[in-house]
Structure 1
Amino acid sequence: MDRHPIGDLTEVTLSKIKEMVDVNTIVGDPITTPDGIMLIPVSKVTFGFGSGGSDFPKTEKPAFGGGNGAGVKIDPVGFLCITDGVVKMITITSPASSTIDRLVEQVPDILDRIDQFIDKHKKQ
């Protein structure tokens, strides 16, 4: 059975998407800061794909009309932060809209600082 031309169009489009988006697009290359903290960027990738075609009555040449389309959207989500073997996810969100929102966002960081303060004083 002959291969249909829409299959070739689809393969080309999908191969181009694969060239643009791979695992390194979602989990990026690690970045190490001068003080030894490793940050690994994390993104969300969304894509859509569509194809269509039409066959016409045969003349001397096979008559075919078709097309493909695709779209890719990459949104940064946050960073994996690795400090002294401890991994935390730092998310990127829209700015807090109120004082209470900003305070709530700071609670995990404040608790971490309190933990570090207590650990430091226990060692002394």
Structure 2
Amino acid sequence: MAEHPIQGLMNVTMDKIRQMADSNTIIGKPIKTDDGTTILPVSRISFGFASAGTDFDGKNAANKDLFGGGSGAGVNIQPVAFLVVKDGCVRTIQLSDGSNTIDRALTMLPELVDKVSALLKKEEKQGTAAPKAEE
């Protein structure tokens, strides 16, 4: 059985969408700076797809194999954040509005962990560096 022409339209459109939206589009290629920082762009992708076709009236033998159709797709790529890796620490920089309290808390969490870790290390160094006074 021969492939219907609408299948060819759909296959071409889906192949083009695959070319546009691969994993490198969502998590972009790393950008390395001179100071050793690596920046990874993160994007949100949404797309729509439509395809339609019609066979012409088969009563007339001349119109028997005629087909009309079309397909199309739209892709929206929106950058939403950057992952910044420096000295083994990862930070998230969101580009969208962080008006949601949970989003803001999650965004600040890595920085908070880094600050608490630095504070604990500082206290440990002070405790071992300062000799205890004897009574």
TM-score (norm 2): 0.70
Q: Which amino acid is 1:7 matched to?
A: Q
Using the TM superposition, give the Cα deviation of residue 28 of structure 1 relative to its aligned residue in structure 2, in angstroms: 0.6
| Structure-2 change in CA distance of 1:116 and 1:35 (3 Å) | farther
| Structure-2 change in CA distance of 1:123 and 1:30 (3 Å) | farther
| Structure-2 change in CA distance of 1:26 and 1:107 (3 Å) | closer
Per-residue CA deviation, residues 49-100 of structure 1 (Å, 9 max, x unaligned), is: 011111112333511111101000000011111122222222112498xxxx
* Counterpart check, 1:38 vs 2:38: yes
Matches within 5 A, 1:25-104: 25-58=25-58, 59-60=61-62, 62-94=65-97
CA RMSD of aligned residues (A): 2.7
State, as a whole percentage, how many aligned pairs show the same letter.
Answer: 44
SS of the aligned residue for 1:60 comes to helix
Q: Which amino acid is 1:27 matched to?
A: I
Per-residue CA deviation, residues 25-52 of structure 1 (Å, 9 max, x unaligned), is: 1111111222211110110110000111
Using the TM superposition, give the Cα deviation of residue 14 of structure 1 relative to its aligned residue in structure 2, in angstroms: 0.9
Specify every segment of 5 or more residues in structure 2 that has no aligned partner in the other structure, as ranges. 100-104, 127-135
Rounded Cα–Cα distance in structure 1 between residues aligned with 2:119 and 2:33:
22
SS of the aligned residue for 2:10 comes to helix
Q: What's the counterpart of residue 133 of structure 2?
A: none
